[in-house]
Chain A
Amino acid sequence: MTQAASNVAAPLHTPVEQVRVNRHRADWRGWKFVWPFALVFVFVFVIPIMYAVYISFFQQRMIGGTRFVGFDNYARLLHDRQFWSAVGRVALFTVVQVPVMLFLAAAMALALDSMKLHGTRFFRISTFLPYAVPAVVSTLIWGFMYGAKYGLVGSFNGFFGTHLDVLAPGVLLASIGNIVTWEFTGYNMLIFYSSLSTIPHSLYEAASIDGASEWQIVRAIKLPELRGSLAITVIFSIIGSFQLFNEPSIMQNMVPGNAISTYYTPNMYAYNLSFSGNQSNYAAALAIAMAVITMAIAYVVQLRSMKEQMR
């Protein structure tokens, strides 16, 4: 609705805009605002990435030093079963966890925004609070609770005579998904929520006077407003899931029977290759390949709509 409103308003100003945004004389004013970010970004991301691309064409060995190998590292990756099993695992994780988390986050944001809750402030902070916990700590806490012998699951089993084991290999990924959902629902909720709070209040009043029901307001005003935030949360969640690292690596030693291998996720694999495997070159190739895969998926899923958003 806001978009509709601004579209209606737009024609009035078009002549002014056309004078200012002259196609032949580039308008560089925007850079005045963007350059500080761009500068740091180039320093922290772009140069290191170029370096990673560069070293991915070499191979460093304990005996015989470093040599140029062209695309060998990438070719090796194609046949690396451990790599593809890791990619498959995070893909599965993404497909299940991201929708669940975003649904919960959006529902909670709408509930908070409806102002129909008793104690809105309490719910707002309790939903967000998990995000404030460092991943190290939250994984530890959940890990303690998950324990089938000594954790709360164990106590539950003892009490009800059940044999639940949420750390069994079959359900382990879901249990990790639960931790991630717990950590990040509040984060996404807040994005949705603050985007809802930019909706001008008069719009609701107008709608309400027009006799729109609560649900009609949600569908006609609030959900379209969420679309923009949804696009970025989806992209960032996909990227985040594909880079899953902290939770499984901290849980590695809490899970019975070494169910979390050193190549459980692509990021863990990269980490182990470069830090205990002495293969930073191969790890760099893996990182670049992962970036390409992630971007492809992000593009297919959401990038198009996001680009529209950023027009």
Chain B
Amino acid sequence: MRNSQKVLAVMTAVMTLTGLAACGNAGNAGNAGDADKAELVFWGWDTGHTMSDLIKDFQKANPGITVKFNNTGTASDTQTALSNAIAAGKGAPDVVMLEDPTVTQFAVTGDLVDLSQFGADKLADDFSAGPWNKLQYNGKPYALPIDSGPEMFFYNDAVFKKAGVDGTQIKTWDDYYEAAKKVRAIGSYMTNNSGSSMEYQPFTAQAWQAGAQPWKVDGENLTIDMTKDAGMKKYIEFQQKLIDEDLIDTKTANWSDDWNRELNDGTIASLTIGGWMPVNLMNGAPDQAGNWRVAQLPQWEEGDEASAEDGGSALAVVSQSKQQAAAYKFVEYLTHGEGAKTMADTGTFPSLKSILTSDDFTDPTTEANKKVNDYFGGQNVNEVLSEAAQRKVSEFSYLPYNPFAQSSFGDQISKAYNKEITLEEAFANYGKALAEHGTQQGYTVSNKG
């Protein structure tokens, strides 16, 4: 009897805790705080150690505000940490770095602050359309882009030359396909794709460029169409051809150790990936210095100039913060103000039009540019990238539960790259899994196939 009483007492304690946990996010009214005096906490990841310099500069310009940066690991680690802090109802940072497609997930649940109250909506025209559009929810900005990643075509000119391919003449995906056959003939692969979750971003970018709209979001209504959509059809058909004819390396996933080594020894001859790739190439494939080139994405129709976004991250202000005005000041500084320039100088691919079009950005004589251009055989890399960033992008929406979409992508799609099923079947299964998850999350989902 005494035992059961004890159990009851503990249970009550647990319930109390749960009850506390349940009332996580109150409204964010009255949490603006003092815009000039604050001690901010900032979660994110760092590409080298540029963050500490940036923060120093910011603190110098805003003497009343201090910023504590915590490197929270990868994008998914950071997102996990944020979810946990939100569940606990406290401990979240003031400012958080998120991958662009994840922003909506937190905006839907009211855990991020609508930045238009600080005037962020007026900055729309200052940013490239691609990254900006990804950060809107209900027509309001919930984060500002810190970088962007226009999808580019990178190729190893030495390998191409050996295979008798002229990289500058690859204008369409048909050209790409013909080139792939020649590259395969000398033992290399045009590119890699294993259908893992690491290839989710390139998938969305390439489907996006093909004009696909696999997901449509209208408030609580979702439409999923993975296989019947015209753009998706184009994409699936093309990829299936590459798989069937053994033109791509289906064993190697992006970001794996093998991937870097294959880029380094010329096994992988080209990549379609975000415009932030040069730094990674220089690091991961040092032996190919002077051989890589960058070009605009091949087009589906000759003469088109369709582009798409791959990757990109953004800064948001968390609803839990009691210092939102100061937090926004920091966000603005890093994305739109002085800090954005510093970041661009250290290799982050900017999303700010003023930087993209500035002479500095494409000036081949600056030290940073010279280093990159040397690796790319003297090509003016930023000129090519800047052109891509200013191209038009069609409308594309991610699912509000993007992290799930990304992790289950690998489970479903890899089966097709493993040649167990066709890519169309894989995408149909994928659509089913996504629809089921959406329903469980309370959305009204119509799955068209």
Contacts and interface: CB of A to CB of B under 8 A. Distances in A.
A54 B14 contact: yes
A126 interface: no
A258 B220 contact: no
B257 A50 contact: no
Interface string A45-81: 0110011001100010111101000000000000000
Given A51-B18, A258-B253, A277 B418 contact: no
Contacts of A279: 440
A309 interface: no
A257 B258 CA distance: 12
8 contacts: A46-B10, A50-B10, A62-B109, A62-B442, A63-B441, A63-B442, A150-B257, A263-B411
Most buried by B among A42, A61, A259, A277: A277
B264 to A, nearest CB: 10
B288 to A, nearest CB: 15
Nearest to A273: B404
Interface string B247-270: 000111101111001100000000
Secondary structure of the B contact surface, majority rule? helix
A258 B257 contact: no
Contacts of B105: 62, 278
Nearest to B7: A50
Interface string B372-384: 0000000000000
Interface of B: 10-11, 13-15, 17-18, 22, 76, 80, 83, 87, 105, 108-109, 194-198, 220, 250-253, 255-258, 261-262, 400-401, 403-404, 406-408, 410-411, 414, 417-418, 437, 440-443
A55 B407 contact: no
Most buried by A among B22, B196, B437: B196
A306 B105 CA distance: 49
Interface of A: 42, 46-47, 50-51, 54-55, 59, 61-64, 66, 143-144, 147, 149-150, 253-254, 256-259, 261-263, 272, 275-280
Nearest to A165: B251
Contact of B14 (A50, A258, A259): A50
B418 A144 contact: no
Contact of A256 (B251, B401, B441): B251
Contact of B414 (A51, A258, A275): A258
Given A46-B10, A150-B258, A278 B404 contact: yes
B20 to A, nearest CB: 12
B49 to A, nearest CB: 22
A127 to B, nearest CB: 29
B411 A61 contact: no
B302 to A, nearest CB: 34
A297 B175 CA distance: 59
A61 B194 contact: no
Given A55-B18, A64-B442, A150-B257, A258 B410 contact: yes
B257 A278 contact: no
A177 B250 CA distance: 25
Given A46-B10, A62-B441, 13 more contacts: A42-B10, A54-B18, A55-B18, A149-B262, A257-B251, A257-B418, A258-B195, A258-B418, A261-B414, A262-B411, A275-B76, A275-B83, A277-B407
A66 B441 CA distance: 10
Contacts of B15: 54
Nearest to A253: B256
B257 A144 contact: yes
Nearest to B264: A150
A149 B258 contact: yes
